[in-house]
Amino acid sequence: MTDNSASFSGIPAGAEQPKASTGHAVLLTGLYTGCLLVIVMLGSLVAANRVPTLEQYALERNAASYSMFVLFMLIPIFRFLDRPVRLFASGMTAWIIFVVAYEVAGMVFVDLFVVLRTPLQALMEGAAIYGLVAAGSWLARMIFEARRSPIERRRRAPEVDTHQQ
């Protein structure tokens, strides 16, 4: 029996396997970021509603929660800053995971949507944030590309003076 150890994708066994596709990187970054956002949200909700000893430190508690939330929101932005479509896809994947968990948290914390915002408002805010950052990234890239390449000047065709003929 011969050793025909070619992989199913047609790459020989001794050849180097290709790296994970960019779609996997976008999806994994979105999944990890979404999970981190959910953890921060749940931790801050539990700390604010179920731990009365932290009430005297409400400002510090909220500042720490907001800081961690913003820091984790920046993960897709920093990872895909030079690729606006991937940035938006990864950010929206994370944000949809967060909004679904936010909807579920609203079932446990009854007045959550009265005090804060509805899940639809949260979804729209996340889409606006990641959309604006992606558009700004795309615009900055276009400006840098335009500045990098020289402007070509065309020779003007000799003008024919039709009035003097």
Q: How many angstroms separate the Cα of 83 from the Cα of each of 25, 70, 135, 149, 159?
A: 12, 20, 10, 20, 45
Q: Encode pLDDT of 22-52 as tens digits.
A: 789 999 999 999 999 999 999 999 999 999 9
Note the pLDDT of residue 49.
92
Q: Band of the pLDDT at 123, cuts 50, 70, 90?
A: very high
Domain ranges of the chain: 22-148
Cβ neighbors of 29 (< 8 A, separation 6 or more) are 75, 76, 79, 80, 90, 93, 94
pLDDT at 124 over 60: yes
Average confidence (pLDDT) over 113-142: 96
Tokens 């900055």 locate to 140
- Mean pLDDT computed over every residue of the chain: 87
Q: What is the pTM of this model?
A: 0.77
- The dihedral of CA 76, 80, 82, 87: what is its sign? negative
Q: Encode pLDDT of 65-121 as tens digits.
A: 999 999 999 999 999 999 999 999 999 999 999 999 999 999 999 899 999 999 999
